[in-house]
Chains A and B, each alone.
Chain A
Amino acid sequence: MSQTFTLSPAELALRLGDDALILSHRLCEWCGHAPTLEVDLALSNIGLDLLGQAQFFLNYAGEMENAGRDADALAYHRDEHEFKNCLLTEQPNGDFARSIVRQFFFSAWQQLRFHELAKSGDATMAAIATKALKEIAYHVQFAAEWVVRLGDGTEESKCRVADGISWSWRFVDELFTGEDAALRPAWEARVRATLNEAGLDLPAPVRGITGGREGRHSEYLGHLLAEMQYVQRCHPNAQW
């Protein structure tokens, strides 16, 4: 299933880098708050993998832009409308079940998307994707296992994971805009298999909310950036 993606490489690197950066930040908000120490470590570790991926993509985006900006400059010195992450990644953590569903939806998408990217003629993008796929395999497995554990658990946990699915579902369309639409059947099959194992099913179609890829974000991104960028905005280019 090889296909060509017509986005400019710099724009693509920015999108994929921003996805990873923003979701990494969300995951790190769980640090010290997860239900158990093991889960705390897991979410932080997944966040760390994503942060590493973000750094590779954003450094490359900066290189292609050729205006002297590196990953740090792109992460800390852009405003909301300049971020190109999908809306799913910036959604607030909610409860643990909602965060797990968000992770499962995103990681399952990332896995399919990066399999395509690994075949790219752009050697740098292909190398980042090939490296990341090894990490993503663990992310998908971790999130899928939790979806099953919660869905197949108590009435309460099932209810919460169903709420998480319902919350996240309207942000799924955005993952499959443009040429990424071709990835949707494989994604739905993957997600359906896990949801069925959890005693759940794919929700009915809803009108999707999009805009993140064009820099139109939900109210949540600004708050996230305020926290993430605070030190660099107060003390621009501070080093330690």
Chain B
Amino acid sequence: MSSAATPTHSGSAMAADANGLAERVFTLLSAVPDPEIPVISLTDLGIIREVRPGSPAEVVITPTYSGCPASIAIQLSIRQALDAAGLADIQIRTELSPAWTTDWISEAGRQKLLAYGIAPPESAEARLKLKGDAPAICPQCGSARTQEISRYGSTPCKALWRCLDCAEPFDRFKCI
């Protein structure tokens, strides 16, 4: 392959580089746990938007809630992971738009939440069908006979529920 590349060629080579970098960063961050719900990773949570090529390249992230107190811890974890992988040049940028939604939590993330005892949020499709929030499914016994105790729970993103069959209280990820 000649080094005198056409602009098109050089463009696609750059795009390939950018894709390689993005893939590398996403793989890296898929091993970084959420500080408050450590069973899921930052990529499972859907808060890593993209890796924007440039000099410097940027990892673009978004907060779950405006006042999420984990935001600073998340940025520190990302910084540490990037530095440890020799990607100290990559900057971290926070962007609010489009606003984060629970629909961005990956299917794997939903399964991990469930196994951890947190009822995952319903998909957008299910919510549309139900025209509102359905009762949560108890993550302990699978019963749908459940009741909301409080709309606000241990973190901004969760509500408190209880199961009427097995009597266990549990957290439910709020759909937003």
- Enumerate chain A residues within 8 angstroms of B174, measured Cβ to Cβ: 138
Q: Which residues of A contact B154 (CB under 8 A)?
A: 41
B27 within 8 A of A: no
Q: Does B104 contact A (CB under 8 A)?
A: no
B7 near A: Cβ within 8 Å?
no
A142: chain B residues at CB < 8 Å are 151-152
> Shortest CB–CB separation between residue B161 and chain A, in angstroms?
12
User: Within residues 85 to 102 of chain B, which ones have a CB less than 8 A from any CB in chain A?
Assistant: 95-101
| Beta-carbon contact of B66 and A130 below 8 Å | no
| Size of B's binding interface in residues, CB under 8 A | 23
Check if A235 is an interface residue, CB within 8 A of chain B.
no
B142 at the interface (CB under 8 A from A): no
Q: Is the interface of A mostly helix, strand, loop or mixed?
A: helix
Q: Counting CB contacts under 8 A, is B166 at the interface? A: no
Cα distance A64–B84 when bound, in Å?
Answer: 36
Q: Which residues does chain A contribute within 8 Å of B16, judged by CB atoms?
A: none
Show the binding face of B for A, using Cβ within 8 Å.
63, 65-69, 95-101, 149-154, 156, 160, 174, 176
Are the CB atoms of A50 and B67 closer together than 8 Å? yes
Inter-chain residue pair count (beta carbon < 8 A): 70
Which of A41, A53, A55, A131 has the largest count of B CB atoms less than 10 A from its CB?
Answer: A131
Q: 1/0 per position for A17-60, CB-CB distance to B under 8 A?
A: 00000000000000000000011011001101111110110000
**Residue on B nearest A124 in the bound complex, by CB:** B96
**Could you say which residues of chain A place their CB within 8 Å of the CB of B160?**
38, 41
A52 and B99 within 8 A (CB): no
Per the CB 8 Å criterion, the residue count for chain A at the interface is 26
Are A48 and B99 touching (Cβ within 8 A)? Answer: no
Among A42, A127, A141, point to the contact of B97 (Cβ < 8 A).
A127
- Find out whether the CB atom of A52 lies under 8 angstroms from the CB atom of B66: yes
Inter-chain contacts of A132 with B (CB < 8 A) = 66
| Interface check A126, CB cutoff 8 A | yes
- Check if B67 sits within 8 Å of A51, measured CB to CB: yes
Q: Which residues of the partner chain B approach A51 to less than 8 Å between Cβ atoms? A: 67
B97 and A45 contacting across the interface, CB-CB below 8 Å: no
Contact A126 B152 (CB under 8 A): no
